Amino acid sequence: MWHGALRRMLCPRAASQGTLLSSGPPNWRLAASAHARLAHGGGGGGGETRPHVGPPQPGKLALPGIRHLVAVASGKGGVGKTSLAVNLAVALAGEQYWGDDDGGDTSGSGTTEMETTMTQRRRRLRVGLLDCDVFGPSVPRMMGLSGLSASSESLPSNAAGGSKPRILPMEAHGVACMSMGFLVPESGAVVWRGPMVMGAVRDLLGNTAWPPLDVLLLDLPPGTGDVQLTLVQRFTLTGAVVVSTPQDVALADVTRGIDMFRKTKVPVLGLVENMSHHACGGCGRVSHVFGHGGVRRMAEATGVNFLGEVPLHEDVCVGGERGAPVVLSDPTGIGGSAYREVALQLRRVLADM
């Protein structure tokens, strides 16, 4: 069952309905006041905002405790963006963090200097994943999560104070996850207009009780619509990763996506070519179903990092359907190793920022 306060927060009429229908405006006033407190650095409980890269951009919000906020975007649907976001998140969560630990002072504990150094170097990345597709959330299934999330009235607001209930993320494969799929029944329809969707996305990001994270990936819906503009204009993003298949009809929309991020002053961290080729499981013959190399050429032409290629492979699909991402189910296979290489390249880009 939903927590009553959470349901009222999302939509007052939903408290007595099985689905969220656009029969009336949702109650976003609490969210708006929380965001205003964060923007002005105030609030009942005080607190310090931790920026992603340098100070927050004017008029934008930085979430406390989250080092890098990275959007995973695509110009059009059906290019494997959510598969990339899910496998990137799980792969990054399995990477060791080569830097200082936050575990506190070990002096006087009998720990040698070498042991302390190894402990610092062994800490894995803390990763989160937000499913920003309100209408068709896929992250729960692909991460093997089910059920409805809860909220807690005992946690302070992300907006540096306040008493608004916050949504608790779920965890799978070492990744903290949030999705509209955790807030509505699996068969429940979300039939909302643009302003309601934008309010929901703001709350899913800004009012979730995220743990301290090194990277929070945002799985955006395809295109350059309301959700994308809400996030890039409201929050301070470290940058965006754009995924596409290699054929020209998809690359045309990649150009528009890159243009949107540049116009909103969000760095494009890199491009990924998905479904780059298909290797027959029987004879091993490689075929380029959608062409090959188009995204790499696009990266070179636009001066953007090329993060890698991911093949069209059955194991990627099967892993997503079963909630076992291929980077875990077959990390050294064709699909798993490709995603891990993309994650490594992204990790290197973030380390330089």
Residue 341 φ then ψ, to 5°: -70, -40
User: Tokens for 321?
Assistant: 């359907």
pLDDT score of 131 more than 90: yes
Rounded to whole angstroms, how far apart are CA atoms 302 and 5? Answer: 47
pLDDT of residue 78: 81
Between 17 and 311, the higher pLDDT residue: 311
Phi-psi map region of 144: left, alpha, beta (phi>0 left; psi -120 to 50 alpha): left
Q: How many helices (H) and strands (E) does the chain have?
A: 12, 13
Q: What is the CATH number of the domain that holds 44?
A: 3.40.50.300
* In the chain, % of residues over pLDDT 90: 32
Give the span between the Cα atoms of 240 and 256, in whole angstroms: 13
Cβ-based neighbour number of residue 115 at 10 Å: 12
- Count CB neighbours of 333 within 10 A: 16
Distances (CA, A) of 272 to 164, 264, 293, 339: 39, 21, 10, 10
Q: 10-23, pLDDT tens digit by residue?
A: 544 433 333 333 33
Question: Could you tell me which residues are beta bridge partners of residue 289?
Answer: 291
Tokens of 342: 């993309």
**CB half-sphere exposure, 222, CA atoms < 13 A:** 15
Of residues 155 and 266, more confidence is placed in 266
CA 236 to chain centroid, in Å, comes to: 14
Residue numbers of the domain that contains 294: 4-351
Instruction: Return the residue matching tokens 């953007």.
Output: 304
Among the ranges given (40-54, 72-86, 230-244), the one the predictor scored with the smallest mean pLDDT: 40-54
What is the reported pLDDT for 4?
Answer: 43
Domains in the chain: how many in total? 1
pLDDT of residue 240: 95
Can you spell out the DSSP letters for 223-251? SSSHHHHHHHHHB---EEEEEE-SSHHHH
- Look at residue 340 in the predicted model and tell me its pLDDT: 95
314 pLDDT more than 60: yes
Q: How confident is the model at residue 55 (pLDDT cuts 50, 70, 90)?
A: very low
Whether the pLDDT of residue 298 is over 80: the answer is: yes
pLDDT exceeds 70 at position 46: no
Query: Does 20 or 185 have the greater pLDDT score?
Result: 185
Query: Which region, left, alpha or beta, applies to residue 293 given φ > 0 means left and ψ of -120 to 50 means alpha?
Result: left
Distance, first Cα to last Cα, the chain: 42
Q: What is the CA radius of gyration of the chain?
A: 20
